[in-house]
Amino acid sequence: MKKFLPLILAGFSILIFVGLILKHEHHLANSQSIFVELAPVDPRSILQGDYMALNYELHFEGDAEADRGEEGGLADKKIAALEKRIQDQTHLLSYVQLDDQHRVIQTSLDENLLKTHQGTSARLLLKNPSNRLANLYPAASSFLFAEGLEPCYRNAKYAEIKVKDNGQALLANLVDQNLRALNCESQKDWVQGG
């Protein structure tokens, strides 16, 4: 029996790994695509050449007024209330309003957004690494790519996120301003190594 234990453990590990792959492939194939605008990225991350930090423009209620610099106004109060609400929660269920191309135009933690915009809204699970509204993100906080593809990925304007009905999200792709895939990998000559 001791002889076969390593083989049994290896087989079990492979089954778990294949199961996870199939689960994610099913999620990608059977979920809704939504597009989240990307905020300017940290230039230091992209200079390293193989990964890009992703910052998402989730357009929370009150963000527009805060961007205009109305300190102490309604926007600041809304943002402060939202930041208090998200304290010490690792994941948050949010509700996003979508335009006709499935781009996120507004995000709320209030389920009423889903009810008032039936058909043009979706649930989206956000990760909360630092208890700050500006740092909430769906799916992934960075995107890995092959060395040498940085000029192509600089053109990314939106993240395509595959979302299940319950809000679980996976990053599927980075796309341009017309919501077309960048297809950066096809620009790399893999056979010649560069």
Q: How confident is the model at residue 64, as a pLDDT?
A: 44
pLDDT one digit per residue (tens) for the chain, 194 residues = 788 888 999 999 999 999 999 988 888 888 899 999 998 776 566 666 677 889 999 988 754 444 444 555 556 777 788 888 888 888 999 999 999 999 999 888 888 766 776 668 889 999 999 888 888 999 899 888 887 788 888 889 999 999 998 999 999 999 999 999 998 888 766 534 55
Stretch (H or E) spanning 173: strand 169-175
Candidates 77, 93, 104; CA nearest to 161 is: 104
- Say what the pTM is: 0.79
User: Do 145 and 52 touch, CB atoms closer than 8 A?
Assistant: yes
End-to-end CA distance of the chain: 49
